[in-house]
Amino acid sequence: MEQAPPDLERQWQPAPLEPLGHADAGLQAAVGEEAEGSRDEVPGDGTEHALGLGVLMTENNFGLKKIEISVSEAEKRTGRNAMNMQETYTAYLIETRSVEHTDGQSVLTDSLWRRYSEFELLRNYLLVYYPHIVVPPLPEKRAEFVWHKLSADNMDPDFVERRRIGLENFLLRVASHPILCRDKIFYLFLTQEGNWKETVNETGFQLKADSRLKALNATFRVKNPDKRFTELKHYSDELQSVISHLLRVRARVADRLYGVYKVHGNYGRVFSEWSAIEKEMGDGLQSAGHHMDVYASSIDDILEDEEHYADQLKEYLFYAEALRAVCRKHELMQYDLEMAAQDLASKKQQCEELATGTVRTFSLKGMTTKLFGQETPEQREARIKVLEEQINEGEQQLKSKNLEGREFVKNAWADIERFKEQKNHDLKEALISYAVMQISMCKKGIQVWTNAKECFSKM
């Protein structure tokens, strides 16, 4: 559903479907002492940030707490939905443990089950309440950019496992975010199994959500867009298109590589069949055939590792959309601001007209005045008064909107800077691991072929 390069349609897509890949597995193991650092507005450097991932610092009635989060299990369930229809879904077990800072021992293991749609709800809520934040994306709803061997089935164990990792990563990303981690709803998501949905809905976030139509409208009508945000939007568009292209080609490359390796497996069979009729060459062929089998099966692990890399890239593919959401929000605010300013200006003009009695422009009001005669001075006075009140109000509104906008830009930019740093750090890491992966693939290949060569040389 999100394969297409960005187009208008794309911007209409509900954000909740944002999936993400996963970063390093086993993040939950990182009980970072640096977790304190993640409370700062912007982490000083990415490393610190990454290390803090495993821990949620949350403020609630008990004050600050450190919590370890993991999504440890996935389970297939069948239940009835709102329409009383049979449905099958996967539930994920979220485990949280409070870490007492003093003795470093973790206590109070808490666990609860959530399904994907609840994660979506959480993210939607976060999107609405934190428009200036690049909200971490969820893993994909349906498998995308997979090569043929991987199933696109939502119930496929591999897919579920990758999604489990992705969901865990999402929670860790939120938990390590300096602002999002303090959210009450998020805390409840982790700790309160029942009634959570109701609590979320009580916040009325859906009402606050901006209509998509409005946002689209703003995109085209906004007069003075912030250059930085325009550039950012442009960047996120391009990033999305380049990563999706990359992922698509990578899937094909993986397909081909898989083919190359697996066809070598046939050598294994033929060599061993052939060895049966040979005398001196038999042994060498037989064992070389065995090495060919090893070679063919080695690709499975290699490509599985590569899938992690693809998931890392995927997360940033979906991050691009999150980035755009922030840009859109900014456009919307800018548009509101401009509309308010326009409204105020027109009201001011009206007021002036009434006061001076001149009609500068042709208007319906002018026509009615002419048709039905002049208003009484009292009426005019009253109208001017109303208008002046409105103008005052409008000015207040404009002022607050201006302030709000400035605040938004400031906060958003801070988070974008944070995001950029995180992105550079993560992707560098991903590229390193990719390079290391390739090198280890080569080493494996050399190893196998060296072994095979030894067998051949004994023939």
Partner 1 sequence: MEITDRQMELFVSGFCSFVLALSGAGWLLKSFERSSFIYFSDTGGSGIIFKKRPTKDCLPPGAGADAKAHVVVVGVSCPDLILPNGGTPAGTSSPASSSSLLNRLQLDDDIDGETRDLFVTVDDPKKHVCTMETYITYRITTKSTRVEFDLPEYSVRRRYQDFDWLRNKLEESQPTHLIPPLPEKFVVKGVVDRFSEEFVETRRKALDKFLKRITDHPVLSFNEHFNVFLTAKDLNAYKRQGMALLSRVGESVKHVTGGYKLRSRPLEFAAIGDYLDTFALKLGTIDRIAQRIIKEEIEYLVELREYGPVYSTWSALEGELAEPLEGVSACIGNCSTALEELTDDMTEDFLPVLREYILYSDSMKSVLKKRDQVQAEYEAKLEAVALRKEDRPKVPADVEKCQDRMECFNADLKADMERWQSNKRQDFRQLLMGMADKNIQYYEKVMSVPARPSPLSEEARLIARESLGQGPARNPAAATPAGPCPTVRDAAPGLGAEAPVGVPTGHSRAHAAHRSGSSLLPGPLGLAASCAPESGGLQSRERAGPRGPWGLSLKASSLRLLGLPYVGSESSFYSNLRVTKEGSME
Please report, as ranges, the residues that interact with partner 1 according to CB under 8 A.
235, 238-239, 242-243, 245-246, 249-250, 252-253, 255-257, 259-260, 263-264, 266-267, 270, 273-274, 277, 280-281, 284, 288, 424, 427-428, 431-432, 434-436, 438-439, 442-443, 445-446, 449-450, 452-453, 456-457, 459
Report the nearest approach of partner 1 to the CB of residue 429 (Å): 9
Token duo for residue 389? 């009140």
Residues belonging to the chain:
459
Return d(Cα 23, Cα 2) in angstroms, integer.
Answer: 21
Report the nearest approach of partner 1 to the CB of residue 261 (Å): 9
Report the nearest approach of partner 1 to the CB of residue 12 (Å): 25
Report the nearest approach of partner 1 to the CB of residue 364 (Å): 51
For the stretch 378-381, contacts whose Cβ atoms lie closer than 8 Å and that sit 24 or more positions apart, written own/partner, are 380/354
CB nearer to partner 1: pick between 27 and 175? 27
CB nearer to partner 1: pick between 218 and 310? 310
Q: Name 46's Cβ contacts closer than 8 Å, sequence gap at least 6.
A: 421, 422, 424, 425, 426
Report the nearest approach of partner 1 to the CB of residue 417 (Å): 13
Return d(Cα 239, Cα 137) in angstroms, integer.
Answer: 15
CB nearer to partner 1: pick between 13 and 438? 438
CB nearer to partner 1: pick between 180 and 430? 430
Please, is 399 exposed, middle or buried when counting C-beta atoms within 10 Å of its C-beta (0-12, 13-18, 19+)? exposed
CB nearer to partner 1: pick between 129 and 309? 309
CB nearer to partner 1: pick between 386 and 436? 436
CB nearer to partner 1: pick between 255 and 375? 255
CA 360, distance to chain mean position in Å, is 52
Please, is 232 exposed, middle or buried when counting C-beta atoms within 10 Å of its C-beta (0-12, 13-18, 19+)? buried
Report the nearest approach of partner 1 to the CB of residue 244 (Å): 10
Report the nearest approach of partner 1 to the CB of residue 183 (Å): 30
CB nearer to partner 1: pick between 284 and 394? 284
Q: Name 404's Cβ contacts closer than 8 Å, sequence gap at least 6.
A: 333
CB nearer to partner 1: pick between 264 and 314? 264
Per-residue exposure over 420-453, b if at least 16 CB sit within 10 Å of its own CB, e if not: ebbbebbbebbeeebeeeeeebeebeeebeebbe
Report the nearest approach of partner 1 to the CB of residue 428 (Å): 6
Q: Name 401's Cβ contacts closer than 8 Å, sequence gap at least 6.
A: 333, 336, 337, 340
CB nearer to partner 1: pick between 125 and 258? 258
Report the nearest approach of partner 1 to the CB of residue 277 (Å): 5
CB nearer to partner 1: pick between 351 and 452? 452
Report the nearest approach of partner 1 to the CB of residue 118 (Å): 34
Report the nearest approach of partner 1 to the CB of residue 7 (Å): 19
